[in-house]
Amino acid sequence: MNSLILRTATRLLVALMLLFSVYMLLRGHNEPGGGFIGGLLAGIGFALYAIAHGTAAARRALRFEPQAIAMVGLGIALLAGLWAAMFGDPLFTGQWWFVGAGDDDKGLPLSSVLVFDIGVYLVVVGAVLTLVLGLEEEV
């Protein structure tokens, strides 16, 4: 699509969407959001970029093959699940660390659950872009 306005606006818009998608991903455990929603958002952002600048530019901006991103995401999700097994818990049990927790302050929460959600995020981004870019290039 050869529109200067669209191309210019897209640069800003895509950056905002990606940022927002990460925000949605990270806040998902406590507020509406999460890996699925974040992944869809990021996927749509890149799809918009592909429509405005062409699929080749989108693939360059992505740096990795979308299929590879999906598979890496699947692997991360699996590792997050296996992590629990290493501590003797059943598979996919959440593991938590509260970094610097005090009596009043619960500190910075880190968890295998977040890693799992990141895996979901990557799978969704990868899958959506595999489809969108593939179809765009074909047609």
Partner 1 sequence: METVLALLVGVLVAAAVYLMLARNVLRFLFGLVLLGNAANLTIFIAGRLTPELPPLVPEGLAAPAGQVANALPQALVLTAIVIGFGLLAFTLVLVYRGYQTLGTLDSDAMRVAEPADTTDGTP
Partner 2 sequence: MNESAAPEDRPADRGPGEAAARPAGAGWLPALLPAALAAAFAAALPTIAGGGTIRLAADWVPSLGISFSLLLDGLSLTFALLISGIGFFVTLYARTYLAGHAHLGRFTLYLLAFMVAMLGLVLADNLITLFVFWELTTLTSYFLIGFNHASAASRRSALQALLLTGAGGLALLAGMILLGGVAGSFELSEILARGDLIRDHDLYLPILVLVLLGAFTKSAQVPFHFWLPNAMAAPTPVSAYLHSATMVKAGIYLLARMHPALSGTDAWIWSLTLFGAVTALVASVIALRQTDLKLALAYTTVMALGTLTMFLGAEATVAVAAAMTFLVVHSLYKASLFLIVGILDHQAGSRDAERLGGLARAMPITAAAAAAAALSMAGFPPFLGFIGKELKYEGALAIASEPAVVATAAVLANALMVAVAGIVALRPFHGGRPRAPRTPREAPVTLWIGPVVLAGLGLLFGLAPALIADSLIQPAVTAILGRPETVKLALWHGINLPLALSLLTFALGLAVYVGHERLRRGLIRLEAGLPATADQVWDRLLDGLKALAAAQTRLLQSGLLRRYMFITFASVAVAVGVTLAATGAVRLPAAWPELLFKHWASVALIAAGAVMTALSKTRLAAICALGVVGVGVALLFVMFGAPDLAITQLLVETLVVVLVGVVMLRLPSLEQGARRRRGADIVLSVAVGAVVALTLLAVVGAPLDRAVTDYFETASVAQAFGRNIVNVILVDFRALDTFGEVAVVAVAAIGAYALIRGTRRKERP
The residue among 43, 48, 52, 42 whose CA lies nearest residue 6 is 52
Binding segment (CB under 8 A) for partner 1, from list 53-61, 86-94, 103-111, 131-139 = 131-139
Binding segment (CB under 8 A) for partner 2, from list 4-12, 56-64, 110-118 = 110-118
| Element housing 1 (H / E) | none
- Partner in contact with 45, chosen from partner 2, partner 1, none, beta carbon below 5 to 8 Å by kind: none
Binding segment (CB under 8 A) for partner 1, from list 30-38, 47-55, 60-68, 107-115 = 30-38
- Partner in contact with 77, chosen from partner 2, partner 1, none, beta carbon below 5 to 8 Å by kind: partner 2
The residue (of 39 and 53) whose beta carbon lies closer to partner 1 is 39
| Residue 21 φ/ψ, nearest 5 degrees | -65, -40
- Partner in contact with 92, chosen from partner 1, partner 2, none, beta carbon below 5 to 8 Å by kind: partner 2
Place of tokens 């302050």: 105
The residue among 129, 138, 130 whose CA lies nearest residue 47 is 129
Helices (H), the chain: 4-27, 35-53, 55-62, 66-86, 112-138
SS3 109: strand
Binding site for partner 1 (CB under 8 A): 30-32, 36, 40, 124, 127, 131, 134-135, 138
